[in-house]
Chains A and B, each alone.
Chain A
Amino acid sequence: MKNVIEELEQRRAVAMLGGGEKRIEAQHGRGKLTARERLTVLLDEGSFEEFDMFVEHRCTDFGMAETKIPGDGVVTGWGTVNGRTVFVFAKDFTVFGGSLSETHAQKIMKVQDMALKNRAPIIGLYDAGGARIQEGVAALGGYAEVFQRNVLASGVIPQISLIMGPCAGGDVYSPAMTDFIFMVRDRSYMFVTGPDVVKTVTNETVTAEELGGAKVHTTRSSIADGAYDHDVDALLQMRRLIDFLPASNTAPVPELESHQPVDDEDRSLDMLVPDNANKPYDIKELIEKTVDEGDFFEIQADFAKNIVTGFGRIEGRTTGFVANQPLVLAGVLDSDASRKAARFVRFCDAFSIPIVTFVDVPGFLPGTAQEYGGLIKHGAKLLFAYGEATVPKVTLITRKAYGGAYDVMASKHLRGDINYAWPSAQIAVMGAKGAVEIIHRKDLGDPDKIAAHTQSYEDRFLSPFVAAERGYIDEVIMPRVTRKRIARALRLLRNKDLENPWKKHDNIPL
């Protein structure tokens, strides 16, 4: 017995060192932490329980039988984040460059299965060199089995990927199927094929950073939902995100004590919307003054900035926010904004998170670039997402709600539960100028008449009243009581019960 314990201690010590002191130093030298260090930051101290520490690969080709390192390049297990269970796996770059072997894949599959069975979130930390070439098709098979589990878990438990180093080839598709991907700036990159292959095939010369760095994926490709300056920052922010998320699609929305009363009026909001309809303002100020303590976790902050998405809390309960951003492109809906918001709305709906929508939208963005790029289909994604969502939906129109974009933005007609408008709301088919030019085409030559028509159009339609008269707006509220009214609406909707017709699944315009 004593020998076994000694051996256990000794083997554990070896396993804990992963690829050894030298490789750990090299990892630190690159400004990165090791897999196990990362997990100690991500998880509550002392809460990590590691599985499969002694797993070794079974490959014998290319002399691999001689080099075996316990753990096989990935650290897996479970722990808690502020006391709540999460499953984790972290690629260990110090062991075979974190490359994926058959056994390595099996370790990941084990925690994936456990996370799904026990309905708890799973977080993957990536820092690896792709498939272990020596294992050939066994590694490929391993990837696909991991992918399959990502698919089955999607919409059941939150799946989060944090890219903290290289992530290429087969490694990219598992994160791609998770709910959120975050990256570490200057130290991580993601691509299907790397710069060398790109050079050979297309003759493009490009660096790894240019091809798949955090900047590219957070601003252009929209692959990543956010980026952080270094490992510790990123891991601590993952903890913050986990605090917002339910454990699964059947778990209740997380609830924290709220320290900030919702009854306090905020008169500064009465002045948020400028008198001049063409002057922008920052919708994030409204979000930050609506959520508890101004605590807002933004998703895709750097992509399609004309729409803002993210999580906040109202009276302690997690709430998803979608808001047109007048500061960027006047808050117009384009393909990127529609896709970004649609994905966010679907996440919230899948996990029972109520959605609050702030509307100030001048319409869809016109132009060949948008139409050729499939604006119809991308715009339809957001329409579809709002239309199918059965979670509580509270909508507030702050200023413009024009045309088809009005319909799309969680309107009453898409089963919006409570639809508010500020007195500054203008709900109409289009702005006055465009409308008058169409309705009164014959008077176009007469500026006086056009001015009179414009005035009468503005008086009649550029207000919340036409919509309110029809019941499309439930109530016109003062900006200063927005937080209170939204909180009340969400309280009212806590027991909302709505189901869509049975179907195998829908056919969202992908």
Chain B
Amino acid sequence: MFDKILIANRGEIACRVIKTARRMGIATVAVYSDADADALHVEMADEAVHIGPPPATESYLIADRIIEAAKTTGAQAVHPGYGFLSERASFCEALEAEGIVFIGPKPKAINAMGDKITSKKIAAEAGVSTVPGHMDLIADADEAAAISAQIGYPVMIKASAGGGGKGMRIAWNDDEARDGFERSKSEAASSFGDDRIFIEKFVEEPRHIEIQVLADGHGNAIHLGERECSIQRRNQKVIEEAPSPFLDAETRAAMGAQAVALAQAVDYQSAGTVEFIVDKDRNFYFLEMNTRLQVEHPVTELITGLDLVEQMIRVAAGEKLGIAQDDVTLNGWAIESRVYAEDPVRGFLPSIGRLTRYQPPAEQCTDDLIVRNDTGVFAGAEISMFYDPMIAKLCTWAPTREAAIDAMRDALDGFVIDGIAHNMPFLASLMAHPRWREGRLTTNFIAEEYPDGFMPPEPDAEARSILAAIALSVEIIRKDRLDRHAGRIAPHSGRIGTDWVVRIGDERLAMSVAAATLGDRTAFTVSAEGEGPAALETGFRLGDPLWTGSVGGTRVVAQIRPVANAMVIDWRGYSVTAQVMSPHVADLEALMPEKAVADTSKQLLCPMPGLVVALNVRVGQAVQAGETLAVIEAMKMENVLRAERDATVSVIHAEAGDSLAVDAVIMEFE
């Protein structure tokens, strides 16, 4: 076994690998860029080596620097994590040349699986079912129709050079196949300068289900069941689970057997993942093989009880697998939510900045509940624009899928992040989605269910009553404390009343309180207008970020953020501003005019924090709708800001190179 390994990665995965290495008694070396000097993985590792400036291309992606770091520190092996150099065969070869072990598969396997076409051929040869299709050149529309008929409708007609849906068509019969071929061909020629077209089976109601395999250097290979990752947003996985609610034992065994066959065909040695697409009739087709540890590996760990990083390290050290296929049992259900620094209500634009508060839910491990949070950040850390916006992977496990979902919902409620925008409201909304709860998923789930993007859900009557009761309890606790304010005169007035109005948005709920007990714990019965009394109980203390307690029998963990005269309450994806008033003040408050919203139609606002890469217009220039005004870079992505309508630029407030905050005014129009 190794004495010391280097982790050629950053963020949560580096921390996760360090944890296992430490448990195994292996010393760890972290590498870091300038942007990560204070990062958690650097703090956790026994040693850390600086490898360059913030951009990954100048640090984490430079193999030579990492190899140099391994040599200087005497690390015997390198774990690549995922991303960066994890699937670069040349990196493994360079390590091997230096006598350093790559904790992952051999270069041959990486190469074989790295190319989409080659990998499919190898898979087909190994008896793995691939999407039926025709990869060779197609002469004309008639041939296209003939091939399509042979594959079986519906088919997908695709440009070889295609991407992003361009030059892609679905055909359900011969006529559509002919027509689709012609159109795709001309579109491909004009878009990509390459008119090669291929045709494959169109998979209806596709689901993304992948098989985890594990193989050693002694010819042993097993699979650890599947993960379903159908909930994706633009090919970015959001929620993963294991097992899949869709597979039966038979399909699972068939998929597992094929995955193992493929691993053996390429002499695979390590943990790897074989991705399949599964149609509505449980036909499954090979997509690709990922020759690395997957982001979502924790869900497999939670249902198998295995530590995949440990297995990878053992295999790399030449050990035989300690388990056979029959030893693998899938126990219970695990779900992973990826917490991203992305603003869901602004089209998931990346958000950067200082995590002024970062308080994940407590990790726990009992017989019927596990909460696990893989993270690479801590309160006070900076989310920079240089790397992936994922800040944590929150996982829950429970004996049943329903219980695991409920546990995830509660864990998300208790996850406090301030300072940046994040996708937790979206995750919470997903957890409550009936289609998700029923497990009726496809890879188009998000596109179908959130066609216009994500809007924070409006609370229904029941949720509103609970939110109002929470707000009321906070106000009563505040009032109760003020009752003991020094310098009160007796007999005092301003006692805590029994009747209240809670304003949530434009709704005003009349509520009354009875049988209040105050002190370390607060309890009372609350009656909302037209509803029966409900018991409320909480240990909330002013200043706590979390309100934990129960309302009408529902256990609630909500987040409370005070604002002027009110509070923002976040719970189950709802985010409301609640103001508690006496009925008299509420009557007068109702007379107050609504605040006019500032007119920003004549301004170009920066939609996300980022760097101005270019300003494409000058003062006085008349621009047409759709014309590029500026380019903002954030999280490695360039975002083009275009004119919404015809206008003339009157003032420009920013210049190239400026770092702008969200909603900063870039320019104004006449």
Binding site for B on A (CB under 8 A): 28, 31, 33, 37, 40-41, 44-47, 79-85, 228-233, 236-237, 240, 243, 246-247, 251-252, 254-257, 259-260, 266-272, 275, 281, 285, 292-295
Contact = CB atoms under 8 A, between A and B. Distances in A.
24 contacts: A28-B591, A31-B591, A40-B584, A47-B494, A80-B493, A80-B494, A82-B488, A83-B492, A83-B494, A84-B485, A231-B588, A236-B565, A240-B565, A247-B487, A251-B487, A255-B486, A256-B482, A256-B486, A259-B541, A260-B542, A266-B379, A268-B378, A270-B380, A271-B381
B485 A82 contact: yes
Interface in B351-392: 354-358, 378-382
A256 B481 CA distance: 7
Which 5 A-B pairs rank lowest in CB-CB distance, beginning with the nearest? Answer: A44-B494, A293-B543, A268-B380, A83-B488, A271-B380
A237 B584 CA distance: 17
A96 B492 CA distance: 35
A34 to B, nearest CB: 10
B484 A257 contact: yes
Contact of A31 (B38, B484, B541, B593): B593
B483 interface: yes
Contact of A254 (B380, B485, B541, B564): B485
A33 B584 CA distance: 13
A268 B486 contact: no
Given A47-B493, A272-B380, A259 B486 contact: no
Contact of A45 (B355, B483, B582, B589): B582
B461 interface: no
Interface string B579-619: 00010110011011101000000000000000000000000
B439 interface: no
B497 A233 contact: no
Contacts of A79: 493
A270 B482 CA distance: 33
Majority secondary structure, B binding face: loop
A80 B486 contact: no
B562 interface: yes
Given A45-B582, A82-B494, A232 B592 contact: yes
Given A257-B481, A259-B543, A268-B356, 9 more contacts: A31-B593, A41-B585, A45-B493, A80-B489, A84-B489, A259-B481, A260-B542, A268-B379, A271-B381
B37 interface: yes
Given A31-B593, A47-B494, A232-B592, A268 B355 contact: yes
Interface in B41-60: none
Nearest to B590: A232
A28 B590 CA distance: 11
B607 to A, nearest CB: 22
Contacts of B483: 82-83
A83 B584 contact: no
Nearest to A260: B543
A251 B488 CA distance: 12
The contact size tier of chain B is 35 or more
Contact of B488 (A84, A272, A292): A84
Nearest to B583: A45
B165 to A, nearest CB: 42
Contacts of A231: 588, 592
B492 A80 contact: yes
Interface in B542-565: 542-544, 562, 564-565
Interface of B: 37-38, 354-358, 378-382, 481-489, 492-494, 497, 541-544, 562, 564-565, 582, 584-585, 588-589, 591-593, 595
Contact of A294 (B378, B562, B584, B593): B562
Given A31-B592, A80-B494, A295-B562, A45 B584 contact: yes
A52 B543 CA distance: 43
B542 A259 contact: yes
A285 B353 CA distance: 13
B481 A83 contact: no
B378 A267 contact: yes
B593 A83 contact: no
B635 to A, nearest CB: 19
A12 B379 CA distance: 60
A44 B482 CA distance: 12
Contact of A293 (B484, B488, B542): B542
B493 A230 contact: no
A48 B378 CA distance: 50
Contacts of B494: 44-45, 47, 80-83
A176 to B, nearest CB: 25
A46 B562 CA distance: 27
Contacts of A40: 584-585, 588
Given A80-B494, A271-B381, A232 B589 contact: yes
Nearest to B355: A268
Interface centre among B378, B489, B494, B565 (most CB of A within 10 A): B494
Contacts of A232: 585, 588-589, 592
A294 B562 CA distance: 9
Nearest to A232: B589
Nearest to B494: A44
B355 A83 contact: no
B616 to A, nearest CB: 29
Nearest to B381: A271
A268 B379 CA distance: 5
Given A33-B588, A45-B494, A83 B380 contact: no
Given A83-B492, A268-B358, A260 B541 contact: yes
Contacts of B589: 232
A252 B486 contact: yes
A271 B38 contact: yes
A246 B486 CA distance: 10
A339 B355 CA distance: 34
A285 B589 CA distance: 31
Contacts of A28: 591
A454 to B, nearest CB: 20
